[in-house]
Amino acid sequence: MAVVPAFFGLLLAVIVSGQNVEITPREAVVRVGGELTVLCKVPYPIDSCRITVGTTSYRLRPDNLQGDVVYTGQGLQSGECGALIKNILDDWTGNVTCVLPPQTGSIEIKGTMKLIVARPPAPPVLETPPQASFRDGDKFTAQCIVPDGRPAAKISWFLGEEELLHGVHQPILSSEPGSDLQTIRQNVSRTLTDDDDNKILVCRAEHLALERPMEAKRQLIVQYPPKRQEFGTITIFGLKLGAEGRLNVTVRANPRPTAEWTVGDQVLQAPRRTEAGDFVALEPLPLGNGFYNVTLIVARVAKEDVDRTYYLRVDNGLGREEFAVRISTMDEPAGVELDTGAIVGIVVGVLIVLIAVSLGVFAFATDRWCFAGRSHRTDIPDGADSEAPLPPHDDIKGSENPSHDHGDYITNGDTKHPEKKPDTAV
């Protein structure tokens, strides 16, 4: 009879040894001083619950809730061995192991999860090309390095208020031998434009152990030739004869442009005035973000001033732009503004016209509706059978000189008699 208990003990040992511990969570990242709940579970009652955190092993009991590591769960009879780990320390990074021995037998099974105690990284470092400024169209590459975080920090890129999503390379992680601290590196590439001028490039590092993100910055200076904001001839409206007039032209450039006005045969390099003082060219006035206001003052607007064209040339060493400027004593024409209803009405009207034209073309091509009978003869005498076939073209009388084959009829009383008119030479 001693064989039976031995058999069941062996069977239980086989079953227990084949069990896996269900452990939740498998991995966790927690700040120093934070809390973590780990639950290990098997589908049979257990004799005890042991948890190893760091280098210390804890024997946990449901009736003892004192200390930094205490029991949590539905009880040993439910096969649950849970631990509430309070006030996590930095050196607890590593594996958390639970040991669950069965109520009978000597085989214990274990479950392990990975605990990462977050450590803040060092401040980010932004590496960029050494030159102080760039040109419109230059290829620009920068690298952000955030060292010694646990786990690695997260990097985000911003240019001005816009987050950069295009041109961002895959991050690269590295660590020193024997260290669990990670350094992250990430590059960003971009073709610079005039819109990037004076914007600030930001590398932002975020990490669980940081109260707020850390940033590394650099302002980009992008130089570009003058660029006009209006195309074609510029007309300045609203000037009055006999009063002062100002011709204002807005241009964008970096570096600052110079301005040269041509009035008739006079050339004014700003800032300068004519000898008579009737025209004054002002120095370009910066408006911010690379915009400049270039102004020519007409001391007293006369009729000949309205009739002429003024020419402006701006240059900043990288390029030049030329403008033709006219002035007018009329008010600037108001733009036509259409609300949504008017726009919808116009679109519907256009569609109706297109449909009507299409139907008309279809009817004309297929002899339908109002175009029906368009190809039938109209010179059939009264009482003739309209269904009779037309005679062959060659049998028509007068075909030798068809332009003189008249189909006119002379009315005599109630009877119509066809009158044959003599042919006349052509």
Average pLDDT over residues 46-73: 92
Q: Which two tokens stand for residue 134?
A: 């760039």
Does residue 418 lie within any of the structural domains?
A: no
Task: Answer yes or no: is 166 within a domain.
Answer: yes
Host H or E run for residue 8:
helix 3-17
Strand 266-269, strand 258-263: pairing:
antiparallel
Same domain as 114, residue 42: yes
pLDDT score at 363: 73
CA nearest neighbour of 227 among 262, 193, 261, 192: 193
Task: Tell whether 99 and 142 lie within a shared domain.
Answer: no
> Mean pLDDT throughout 406-420?
42
Q: Between residues 178 and 417, which one has the greater pLDDT?
A: 178
Rounded to the nearest 5°, which phi and psi values hold at 404?
A: -115, 15
247 pLDDT above the threshold of 70 = yes
Same domain, 131 and 205: yes
**What is the rounded distance in angstroms from the CA atom of residue 13 to the CA atom of residue 8?**
8
Same domain for 247 and 317, yes or no, is yes
Please check whether residue 370 lies inside any domain of the structure: no
Q: Given this model, what pLDDT does residue 357 score?
A: 84
pLDDT in tens, 204-232: 999 999 999 999 999 999 999 999 988 89
Residue 334: the pLDDT is: 65
Tokens of 179: 């260290």
Within 10 Å of residue 407's Cβ, how many Cβ atoms?
10
Query: Both tokens of residue 234?
Result: 């510029």
Domain count, the chain: 3
Distance CA 208, CA 154 (A): 10
The full length of the chain comes to: 426
User: SS3 breakdown of the chain: % helix, strand, coil, rounded to 5?
Assistant: 15, 40, 45
Task: Please indicate, yes or no, whether residues 69 and 131 belong to a single structural domain of this protein.
Answer: no
Question: 349 or 128: which carries more pLDDT confidence?
Answer: 128
Q: Which pLDDT score, from 0 to 100, does residue 366 have?
A: 77
Distance between CA atoms of residues 267 and 295, nearest Å: 14
Query: Domain check: are 279 and 233 in the same one?
Result: yes
Compare 69 and 12 and report the one with higher pLDDT: 69
Q: Are 233 and 257 in contact (CB under 8 A)?
A: no
Largest CA-CA distance found in the chain, in angstroms, rounded: 146
Residue 365's pLDDT band, with cuts at 50, 70 and 90, is: confident
Residue 405, both tokens: 């084959």
Residue 335: CB atoms within 10 A of its CB come to 5
Quickly tell me which residue has 């990288």 as its tokens.
Answer: 318
Residue range 325-339: average pLDDT? 74
Q: In terms of DSSP H, where are the helices of 248-379?
A: 303-307, 340-366
Cβ proximity of 272 and 281 under 8 Å: yes
Q: Which residue among 327, 352, 373 closes a domain? A: 327
pLDDT at 367: 73
Structure token pair of residue 367: 């002899």
pLDDT score at 372? 65
Residues near 59 by beta carbon (within 8 Å), at least 6 away in sequence: 48, 49, 50
144 and 171 part of one domain? yes
pLDDT bucket at 385, cuts 50 / 70 / 90: very low
Band of residue 347 on the pLDDT scale cut at 50, 70, 90: confident
Residue whose tokens read 């032209």: 249
Query: How far is residue 270's CA from residue 212's CA, in Å, rounded to a whole number?
Result: 51
Report the pLDDT value the prediction gives residue 374, as an integer from 0 to 100: 57
Does the pLDDT value for residue 416 go beyond 50?
Answer: no
Q: Provide, rounded to the nearest whole percent, the portion of the chain with pLDDT above 90.
A: 66
Q: Are residues 189 and 240 in the same domain?
A: no
- Mean predicted lDDT score pLDDT of the chain: 83
pLDDT higher at 344 or 290 = 290
Mean pLDDT computed over 194-208: 97
Indicate the range of 103-112, 256-265, 389-398 predicted with least confidence. 389-398
Per-residue pLDDT tens digits for 259-317: 999 999 999 999 999 988 899 999 999 999 999 999 999 999 999 999 999 999 999 99
List beta partners, residue 94.
115
Only one residue has tokens 């932002």, namely: 204
Element (H, E) at 410: strand 409-412
Question: If DSSP codes are grouped into helix, strand and coil, which group holds residue 77?
Answer: helix
In this model, does residue 13 exceed pLDDT 50? no
pLDDT of residue 340: 57
User: At residue 346, does pLDDT exceed 90?
Assistant: no
**368 falls within a domain:** no
Q: Which of 47-61, 70-84, 342-356 comes out lowest in average pLDDT?
A: 342-356
SS3 251: strand
Name the nearest CA neighbour of 79 among 22, 17, 10, 9. Answer: 22
CA 253, CA 357: separation in Å to the nearest integer?
52
Of 292, 327, 362, the one marking the end of a domain is 327
Alpha-carbon torsion (378, 383, 385, 391), positive or negative: negative
φ/ψ of residue 287, rounded to 5? -105, -5
For residue 345, being part of any structural domain is answered with no
Pull the structure tokens for residue 350: 């256009």
Q: Where in the sequence is the domain holding 210, given as residue range(s)?
A: 125-220
Residue 130 sits in the same domain as residue 212: yes
- Mean pLDDT for 368-380 is 57
Q: Considering 279, 294, 327, which residue would you say is the last residue of a domain? A: 327
CATH number of the domain within which 30 lies: 2.60.40.10
pLDDT in tens, 130-148: 999 999 999 999 999 999 9
Query: Does 393 have pLDDT greater than 50?
Result: no
Percent of the chain with pLDDT over 70: 80
Query: The pTM is what?
Result: 0.67
Structural domain includes residue 393: no
Residue 240: inside a domain: yes
